[in-house]
Amino acid sequence: MDTSQNAQVSFFQTGEFVTAAVLSPAEFPPSLARATGVAADTMRAVDWSRSVIGQPDQWPPTLVSTLAMILHSRHPMFLFWGPHLISFYNDAYLPSFGVGKHPGAMGQPGAELWPEIWPIIGPQIDDVMLGAKASWNVDQLVPIFRNGSIEEVYWTYGYSPVFDPGGEVVATLVVCTETTARVFAERSLVEAHRQAEQARRELHDFLMQAPIGICMLEGPQHRFTLANQTYLSLLFGGRQESEFLGKSVREIVPEVESQGFMQLLDRVYQVGEPFDGAKMPIFLTQSDGSLKELFINFTYRPKRDAEGNTTGILAIVYEVTDQVNENKEIALLAQNLQKAITARDTFLGIASHELKTPLTSLKLHMQMSQRLLDAKGPQAFSGEKIGRLISNTKTQADRLSRLVDDMLDISRISSGKLAMDIAPTDVSQLLGETLERFEPQLAAVHSVLTTDIPAGLVAAADAYRIEQVMTNLLGNALKYAPGAPVHVRAVAKTDRVLFTVRDEGAGIAAEDQKRIFERFERAVPSSHTSGLGLGLHISRQIVEAHHGQLRVTSVPGEGATFSFDLPLAEASR
């Protein structure tokens, strides 16, 4: 069948109908005469006499009954009749035309009416007409010319053969629905989904890579739905997100229960109000199983659904451990500095008193001598008086010298420059000489000295410094326990020699036994005795520089025992 030839033969030329040959409704077959609507009216207004299918009263019954069914149907239908595929359609079909094709389409050969889609539908119609083969297309793109341009139009349509009573295919019935709107809607829905998914993925990626710790918890059990890298590395030393997802906080970090965080989460979930925490300490189990203390700033924000119900919690966490530690360090530094300043002030007070006492004595002496010389001349100075003057001056100079030595020592200790000149030293002899020098002082306070010192002990020691230690310990015994017996011993034990100085004075309370070795400290308040309060501190530093220890043991009321040990020199072992 050659449809293209017939398509050229049009009875419709200028858009106007030649009405003379149009049948009156009464002349139509009754089923067609009764049909109502725009399409039916158009069909009846056509001058079929000029058509290849002739006047309607001559139409074959198959055409009449098929057309009647179409015109009475509310479903969009189209009929291509006969070898020329003459077009018929109903009212329901009209919207599919848009503007332009109707009403001229009625009675027009198919190929002429649909040139723009003939390559698509032509073969399908041929399949029906020649092979009685029906077809069914869902959401098929069939772009048509309407409304002044080619439009992208989608159809779900079926092509069905129409048979005459003899079994010949005489027409193609098109039952169709335009699905453009639905296809477009579906397409925009798919696009919207794609965009939503992309946005979700971008947000997820952003959250996962954010430089602050973020986790999302769902439901009253606070189940993890997200835990970003920063969150995992910051709080848990790099545990895996997969460990967390779907698990509740209670399951995955049970250690926070006793730290109050569960209660906070429960509250935020139940009350729906956010919570902010600052510089809160938290102990968390790390990926290696250890427990780590952190300080964190964090925010819990309730997550709500469309109805405003809390469905979960967004937690944002950042670590401030360094800041907190820095603040702690600064506070500690400030405290130490304050202590140092107080110690310095105390030291300056004591030092100025101690230095000025011998100076006062010296100055008084000189001024009085001057006065006496002025009043009475040289004869006022007897030999005995001059002797006393010289002796007193020497005493005061010695006092000043000792004070300055102490101050220099403490300065060396503070700057780590207390150097030792260690050599094999006969400490038995050294101790003996020191004790000898103490004889006048012992006599002055009526203290009795007992000694137990084996001869010939040779230690690796700085003789000058060790004498300083011995002098300090003996001086303390006389100063704090005047009149009481003093016992001095030296004992060699394997490779060390132990010295003890025991007095029978008031003793030292347990709580003071550590303090007396600190700088500027003494067992009794400073106003009760003289000296810089440096002696034991310096002595301990000296002994420790010899890898020994200076200790005190005391029972209050029964006296005190100071002891220190030195390494024996190789020869003495």
Partner 1 sequence: MTRTVLIVEDDEYIRTDLGELMELEGYRAATCCNGLEAVRYLSEAAPRPDVILLDLMMPVMDGYAFLQWMDTQPLDARVPVLVMSATGQADLHLGERQRRDFLRKPIDLDVLLSAVAKRVAA
- Nearest to partner 1 of 88, 480 (CB atom): 480
- Nearest to partner 1 of 28, 480 (CB atom): 480
| Shortest Å distance, C-beta 444 to partner 1 | 11
- 350-354: list long-range contacts, CB under 8 Å, 24+ apart: 350/520, 350/526, 350/532, 350/533, 351/403, 351/407, 351/532, 354/403, 354/530, 354/531, 354/532
| Shortest Å distance, C-beta 465 to partner 1 | 29
| Shortest Å distance, C-beta 437 to partner 1 | 20
Out of 193, 356, 437, 515, which residue is the one contacting partner 1 (CB under 8 A)? 356
Out of 371, 394, 515, 547, which residue is the one contacting partner 1 (CB under 8 A)? 371
Cα diameter, the chain = 180
Structure tokens at 318: 């950042």
Out of 188, 209, 342, 395, which residue is the one contacting partner 1 (CB under 8 A)? 395
Q: What CA–CA distance (Å, rounded) separates 548 from 515? A: 19
Does 193 contact partner 1 by CB under 8 A?
A: no
Q: What CA–CA distance (Å, rounded) separates 499 from 474? A: 12
Q: Which of 35, 87, 69 is nearest to 44 (CA)?
A: 35
- Nearest to partner 1 of 429, 526 (CB atom): 526
Q: What CA–CA distance (Å, rounded) separates 416 from 206? A: 55
Does 36 contact partner 1 by CB under 8 A?
A: no
The secondary structure of 329-388 as a DSSP string is HHHHHHHHHHHHHHHHHHHHHHHHHHHHHHHHHHHHHHHHHHHHHHHH-GGG--HHHHHH
Q: Which one of 214-222, 388-396, 404-412, 503-511 is the stretch in contact with partner 1 (CB under 8 A)?
A: 388-396
Q: Which one of 154-162, 349-357, 435-443, 466-474 is the stretch in contact with partner 1 (CB under 8 A)?
A: 349-357
| Contacts with 501 (C-beta within 8 Å, 6 or more apart), sequence order | 470, 473, 474, 477, 486, 487, 488, 561, 562, 563
In this structure, which amino acid lies at residue 274?
Answer: P
- Nearest to partner 1 of 321, 392 (CB atom): 392
Does 201 contact partner 1 by CB under 8 A?
A: no
| Shortest Å distance, C-beta 385 to partner 1 | 10
- Nearest to partner 1 of 372, 435 (CB atom): 372
Does 349 contact partner 1 by CB under 8 A?
A: yes
Does 530 contact partner 1 by CB under 8 A?
A: yes
Using an 8 Å Cβ cutoff, are 496 and 573 in contact? no
In the region spanning residues 158 to 187, those forming contacts with partner 1, defined by CB under 8 A, are: none
Does 346 contact partner 1 by CB under 8 A?
A: no
| Shortest Å distance, C-beta 280 to partner 1 | 45
- Nearest to partner 1 of 403, 566 (CB atom): 403
Q: Which one of 24-32, 48-56, 297-305, 365-373 is the stretch in contact with partner 1 (CB under 8 A)?
A: 365-373
Out of 250, 365, 487, 551, which residue is the one contacting partner 1 (CB under 8 A)? 365
Q: Which of 39, 58, 44, 45 is nearest to 19 (CA)?
A: 45
Report the run of H or E that residue 251 belongs to, with start and end. helix 249-252
Does 400 contact partner 1 by CB under 8 A?
A: no
Using an 8 Å Cβ cutoff, are 62 and 165 in contact? yes
In the region spanning residues 468 to 527, those forming contacts with partner 1, defined by CB under 8 A, are: 526-527
- Nearest to partner 1 of 365, 489 (CB atom): 365
The secondary structure of 518-568 as a DSSP string is STT--SS-GGGS-S-S-HHHHHHHHHHHTT--EEEEE-TTS-EEEEEEEEB
| Shortest Å distance, C-beta 331 to partner 1 | 29
Q: If you compute the radius of gyration of the chain from its CA atoms, what whole number of angstroms results?
A: 59
Out of 360, 411, 414, 549, which residue is the one contacting partner 1 (CB under 8 A)? 360
Q: What CA–CA distance (Å, rounded) separates 138 from 155? A: 7
Does 441 contact partner 1 by CB under 8 A?
A: no
SS3 222: coil
Q: In 10 A of CB 528, how many CB atoms?
A: 9
Is the omega angle on the peptide bond into residue 109 within 30 degrees of 0, that is, cis? no
Does 359 contact partner 1 by CB under 8 A?
A: yes
- Nearest to partner 1 of 345, 570 (CB atom): 345
| Shortest Å distance, C-beta 389 to partner 1 | 10
In the region spanning residues 316 to 345, those forming contacts with partner 1, defined by CB under 8 A, are: none
Does 556 contact partner 1 by CB under 8 A?
A: no
Does 69 contact partner 1 by CB under 8 A?
A: no
| Shortest Å distance, C-beta 330 to partner 1 | 30
The secondary structure of 443-455 as a DSSP string is HHTT--EEEE--T
Does 528 contact partner 1 by CB under 8 A?
A: yes
Structure tokens at 411: 């300065």
| Shortest Å distance, C-beta 548 to partner 1 | 32
Out of 185, 203, 364, 510, which residue is the one contacting partner 1 (CB under 8 A)? 364
Does 396 contact partner 1 by CB under 8 A?
A: yes
| Shortest Å distance, C-beta 364 to partner 1 | 4
| Shortest Å distance, C-beta 526 to partner 1 | 8
Using an 8 Å Cβ cutoff, are 509 and 557 in contact? no
| Contacts with 64 (C-beta within 8 Å, 6 or more apart), sequence order | 29, 31, 32, 56
| Shortest Å distance, C-beta 397 to partner 1 | 12
| Contacts with 353 (C-beta within 8 Å, 6 or more apart), sequence order | none
| Shortest Å distance, C-beta 531 to partner 1 | 11
Does 390 contact partner 1 by CB under 8 A?
A: no
Place of tokens 């007992």: 450
Does 194 contact partner 1 by CB under 8 A?
A: no
Q: Which one of 282-290, 362-370, 546-554, 564-572 is the stretch in contact with partner 1 (CB under 8 A)?
A: 362-370
Q: Which residues bind partner 1 (CB under 8 A)?
A: 349, 352-353, 355-365, 367-368, 371-372, 392, 395-396, 526-530
